Amino acid sequence: MMNVLIVGSGGREHALLWELRCDRPHDAFYAAPGNAGTAELAENVAIAASDIPALVDFCEARSIDLVVVGPEAPLAAGLVDALWDRRIPAFGPRARAAEIESSKAFAKEIMKRNTIPTAAFETFQDVARAESYIRTRGAPIVVKASGLAGGKGSIVCETVEEALRTARSMLEDRQFGEAGATVVVEEFLEGEELSLLFLCDGADAVPMLGSQDHKRLGEGDTGPNTGGMGAYAPVSIADETLVTKTLERIVQPALWALAREDRVYRGCLYVGLMVKDGEPYVVEFNCRFGDPEAQAILPLLRSPLFETVERIARGGSVRDLELEWSPGAAVCIVLASAGYPGAYEKGKPISIPGDLVEREDILIFHAGTRRDAEKRTVTDGGRVLNVVGVGPNVPEAARISREAAELIEFEGKIFRRDIAWRQIERLGIA
């Protein structure tokens, strides 16, 4: 029996825990700090994902055999480095490799030097220079905080004035704190966004199922950017040809480039793409599983994830590894708190009908939840629950997820009812 620690408290971590526990039901699982959902599958540990010394001490005290790190912040802060220093196997990149997400400026320079297809860009720390570049390039244009901003630091600006205001808010007003001390200003790419995740051993990579995230708060992809309001898989445009192009033109060159700089990348590499006329262009790299993409992808995985994660964490190879997938589809709808992605209240009691929990075609992954003093499950974040419907195709999975989302109750609940609309439109189903 192995002792396994999942670091994080969101829907992604609940989904990872669920998947890994399905593979190894007799192992001992811990979640730090976890949430009300992970408490059903593991022992929650009251240690913040950012408290690296306490996490390492816990791993030594409990003889943890494997650590799986969910969020980007502890990866960027060097949690995997600290664990490896104590000879504790950990899944996720070291801090220098995680910089591919923690610094968009660094990631863009890597792409530029290695002719990886991406939007034309410049980076700035001086607001006057940024304003001059914006006026020269015109709009639409994209302004990004270079550092970690919880998925909310990339702003598509429709006018020059909007771009100027956005750059000032980051560089002068510090809207995103130090994450916006450097900004990336890049051309606006037209096309369709796609998320492709790859399990990487430092030299080789194996692709996971393609998915599509819905970043905007409102239906029809309107309103402010969020950490993600839902996702679905598979996506028909993520065919074998596109995945191969992405692996050969983007992922493999990036892995080689990072290795040359002593930044060997081991873990899950998230590639956010813009696809135009069948050609992939990098929008962003992330150094971990997507959230909420993981919640849509993992329920369709037939191969044991635990085996691959452990192999990578212990320094093994994924060369010649192929993952098997179920033939159906999964749609994840995020239930969020009123006010998200801005200010929101916590502590709202959550009611989940018992028959939803028992259904095989519905999975409910907790994100911003906790148990209160009365042992009730209450809201504790902006994104509260992930409701995943699994069906024979995307439209049916979307219907299952949407109907389940309607039945769950908490004060101020908001969610999008059009998750997967692009795929449904492609299939010509109303």
The domain that contains 215 carries what CATH number? 3.30.470.20
Does residue 196 share a domain with residue 298? yes
Range 53-57 contact pairs with CB under 8 angstroms and sequence separation of 24 or more: 53/82, 55/5, 55/7, 55/79, 55/82, 55/83, 56/82, 56/83, 56/86, 56/88
Q: List pLDDT tens digits, range 141-198.
A: 999 999 998 878 899 999 999 999 999 999 999 999 999 999 999 999 999 999 999 9
Does residue 280 share a domain with residue 207? yes
Does residue 309 share a domain with residue 205? yes
Query: Is the pLDDT assigned to residue 344 strictly greater than 90?
Result: yes
Average pLDDT over residues 63-92: 98
Percent of the chain with pLDDT over 70: 100
The pLDDT score that the predictor gives to residue 150 is 81
On whether residue 108 sits in a domain, the answer given is no
Does residue 308 share a domain with residue 241? yes
Task: Decide which of 262, 284, 313 is a domain's last residue.
Answer: 313
Query: Is the pLDDT assigned to residue 364 strictly greater than 90?
Result: yes
Q: List pLDDT tens digits, range 283-293.
A: 999 999 999 99
Average pLDDT over residues 222-235: 95
On whether residue 212 sits in a domain, the answer given is yes
Kindly indicate the confidence band of residue 237, based on its pLDDT and cuts at 50, 70 and 90.
very high
Task: Decide which of 181, 215, 249 is a domain's last residue.
Answer: 181
Going by C-alpha positions, the residue among 159, 195, 350 that lies closest to residue 269 is 195
CB 210 within 8 A of CB 233: yes
Kindly indicate the confidence band of residue 429, based on its pLDDT and cuts at 50, 70 and 90.
low
Quote the CA–CA distance of 83 and 66 in Å, as a whole number.
10
On whether residue 81 sits in a domain, the answer given is yes
Query: Is the pLDDT assigned to residue 72 strictly greater than 90?
Result: yes
Kindly indicate the confidence band of residue 362, based on its pLDDT and cuts at 50, 70 and 90.
very high
The domain that contains 83 carries what CATH number? 3.40.50.20
Domain that holds residue 232: 192-313
Quote the CA–CA distance of 229 and 351 in Å, as a whole number.
20
The pLDDT score that the predictor gives to residue 151 is 78
The residue whose two tokens read 């220093």 is: 85
The pLDDT score that the predictor gives to residue 322 is 93
Does residue 277 share a domain with residue 199? yes
On whether residue 114 sits in a domain, the answer given is no
Q: What domain count does the chain have?
A: 4
On whether residue 408 sits in a domain, the answer given is yes
The pLDDT score that the predictor gives to residue 428 is 79
Does residue 200 share a domain with residue 309? yes
The pLDDT score that the predictor gives to residue 152 is 82
On whether residue 218 sits in a domain, the answer given is yes
CB 47 within 8 A of CB 55: yes
Average pLDDT over residues 336-346: 97
The pLDDT score that the predictor gives to residue 41 is 98
Does residue 342 share a domain with residue 296? no
CB 283 within 8 A of CB 274: yes
Query: Is the pLDDT assigned to residue 308 strictly greater than 80?
Result: yes
Percent of the chain with pLDDT over 90: 96
DSSP 255-308: HHHHHHTT---EEEEEEEEEEETTEEEEEEEESS--TTHHHHHGGGB-S-HHHH
The pLDDT score that the predictor gives to residue 427 is 85
Average pLDDT over residues 263-272: 98
Task: Decide which of 284, 313, 342 is a domain's last residue.
Answer: 313
Does residue 147 share a domain with residue 91? no
On whether residue 103 sits in a domain, the answer given is no
Does residue 171 share a domain with residue 90? no
| Strand stretches in 13-110, DSSP E | 28-33, 43-44, 66-69, 90-91
Average pLDDT over residues 71-83: 98
Quote the CA–CA distance of 161 and 157 in Å, as a whole number.
8
Does residue 334 share a domain with residue 296? no
Kindly indicate the confidence band of residue 59, based on its pLDDT and cuts at 50, 70 and 90.
very high
Kindly indicate the confidence band of residue 18, based on its pLDDT and cuts at 50, 70 and 90.
very high
The domain that contains 135 carries what CATH number? 3.30.1490.20
Q: Which pTM does this prediction carry?
A: 0.96
On whether residue 117 sits in a domain, the answer given is no
Average pLDDT of the chain is 96
Query: Is the pLDDT assigned to residue 430 strictly greater than 60?
Result: no
